[in-house]
Amino acid sequence: MDFFDTAEGWGRDQLEQTQLVRLKSTVAHARKCNFYRERLDAAGIGPEGIQSLDDLRRIPFTTKQDLRDQYPTGMLCVPTSEIVRMHCSSGTTGSPVAICHTQNDINAWADLMARCMYMVGVRRDDVFQNMSGYGLFTGGLGIHYGAERLGCLTIPAGAGNSRRQIKLAKDFRTSVAHILPSYALILGEHLRKMGEDPRDFPLRIALVGAEPYTEEFRQRIESLFAMKAYNSYGLSEMNGPGVAFECLAQDGLHIWEDAYIAEIVDPETGQPVPDGTVGELVMTCLCRQGMPILRYRTRDLTRFLPGQCACGRHHRRMDRIVGRADDMFIVKGVNIYPMQIEQVIMTFAEVGQSYLILLENDGIGDLMRVQVEIRDEFFVEDMRVLQGLQKAIAQRLRDEILITPKVELVQSNSLERSEGKAVRVRDLRAKK
Ligand code: AMP
Ligand code: ZN
């Protein structure tokens, strides 16, 4: 097999030996900031405290709140003069989380990102258009550096502005794009409105991530543009994109275990769940100097996929993220994730690009409304057809989530668009 670098092809033994060596040095290095020194000492883990990979479990978790408390530079493990870049996590609530990188950190990150892109067939003669926001968001510069590392002509188009995206892609024959799932469908719709068939667009590969989406959503993106869409997972606390990525088999995301250790734990107890069970992903970075982070509670829910991938790589795979522990909402006592709703509605051909889940309370109880955009060609049908569709969606949702939401069909493009990650749920109950 053709790998971007040797670590991509390592077997289990070599991966685990390297993880142990790097975990030992990362833990020793992390002691250079007060935060980790105190934490590790309190847990009885001295400078030589890691002897086996199992010792990882003795290290206390690091949470987003810890990172907020240490903002802006409390967790630096090198002098500030060594820092060349900072990024922030895109969380919209609470105070910010800043991650600082040395030049080595940036180089290692670019290599990992280039490895992801190379794995799905991106090569130096590709033209790469980055349709994600730049600035503090890691999906901009993070992927940008990976694409340049591969030698692609790299177009930093940024988010939104479909007209300009389309012009750039046509003029430069863009073959690979990084795009948010929610934006991919919007772009396709824009092309259609211009009287063009998105299948004629020059794209052949899309790197799609930064927010949860279902397999059904991926299939829509792929067939809309006649291209392959690969799932890209990452989070600022672990650099950003380049943490886990789908290979050509599209059967789970390989976690780059030479650079990270992944665990999946019960979000309530923090204890490891059996393989194959969904839980919260916990990540430790093994190659970071500026700001090493140990056992970070991502709040993202997924499971390890059993067995080896058909592609032959030995890096463990995780399933697509089913949601964030924080995204779960409760209606009439039932726990629901937005992706359960998306999975159902995206199987209806009439459904367009966007949807919104509204949670309300009428004083008697919780109400759940699902607003679903309908493609223009179906919106002109007569009322009976639309009512039939509405009923069919509501019934299928009921089968999935056990309560019957009110389904409202709305015109395409009528729901509010966000420039960054899509907002899928609006909970208006707290305001009552
Ligand atoms: P940020 O704070 O901007 O670094 O965003 C990181 C978060 O985005 C992750 O913790 C996930 O919740 C989400 N995310 C990133 N990539 C994916 C993906 N491929 N699928 C689902 N969620 C993702
Ligand atoms: Zn694979």
Whether the predicted pLDDT of 75 surpasses 90: yes
Instruction: Give the pLDDT mean for 62-89.
Output: 96
pLDDT score, position 393: 97
Task: Write phi, then psi, for 319 (nearest 5 degrees).
Answer: -75, 165
Atom of ligand 1 nearest to the CA of 91: 2
Q: What is the DSSP string of 151-218?
A: T-EEE---S--HHHHHHHHHHHT--EEEE-HHHHHHHHHHHHHTT--GGGSS--EEEEESS---HHHH
Give the residue, out of 88, 180, 233, with the most ligand 1 atoms within 8 A of its beta carbon, to mutate for a pocket test. 233
Q: How far is the CA of 388 from the centre of ligand 2 (A)?
A: 42
Per-residue confidence (pLDDT) for residue 332, from 0 to 100: 87
Q: Which of 3-12, 368-377, 422-431 has the lowest mean pLDDT?
A: 422-431
- Average pLDDT, rounded, for the chain: 95
| pLDDT of 278 above 60 | yes
Instruction: Find out whether 60 and 43 touch, Cβ atoms under 8 Å.
Output: yes
Q: What is the mean pLDDT of residues 296-305?
A: 97
Q: Tell me, what's the pLDDT at 178?
A: 98
Condensed to tens digits (0 to 9), the pLDDT of residues 50-71 reads: 999 999 999 999 999 999 999 9
Gap between the Cα atoms of 120 and 115, Å rounded: 9
User: How many residues are there in the chain?
Assistant: 432
195 CA to centre of ligand 1 in angstroms? 34
By C-alpha distance, which of 79, 12, 19, 16 is closest to 285? 19
Question: Tokens 């349709």 belong to which residue?
Answer: 131
Is the preceding omega at residue 72 within 30 degrees of 0, hence cis? yes
Find the mean pLDDT for residues 299-308.
96
365 pLDDT tier (thresholds 50, 70, 90): confident
Task: Give the pLDDT confidence of 398-421 residue by residue, as tens digits.
Answer: 999 999 999 999 999 899 988 788
**Please, what's the largest Cα pairwise distance for the chain?**
73
Domains defined for the chain, CATH in brackets = 1-326 (3.40.50.12780), 329-431 (3.30.300.30)
Q: Which of 35, 52, 115, 162 is nearest to 419 (CA)?
A: 162
Q: Report the first-to-last Cα separation within the chain, whole angstroms.
A: 59
Structure tokens at 45: 């883990």
- Cβ–Cβ under 8 Å, residues 246 and 319: no
pLDDT of residue 94: 67
Out of 102-116, 176-190, 263-277, 367-381, pick the least confident.
Answer: 367-381
Mean pLDDT of 351-373: 93
- Give the pLDDT confidence score for residue 432 in this predicted structure: 46
Q: Which residues line ligand 1 (CB under 6 A)?
A: 89-91, 137-138, 209-212, 231-236, 240, 298, 300, 321, 324
% of residues, the chain, pLDDT over 70: 98
Q: Closest Cα to atom 9, ligand 1: which residue? A: 235
Distance 396 CA to ligand 2 centre (A): 33
The whole-number average pLDDT for the span 221-246 is 98
Distance 287 CA to ligand 2 centre (A): 23
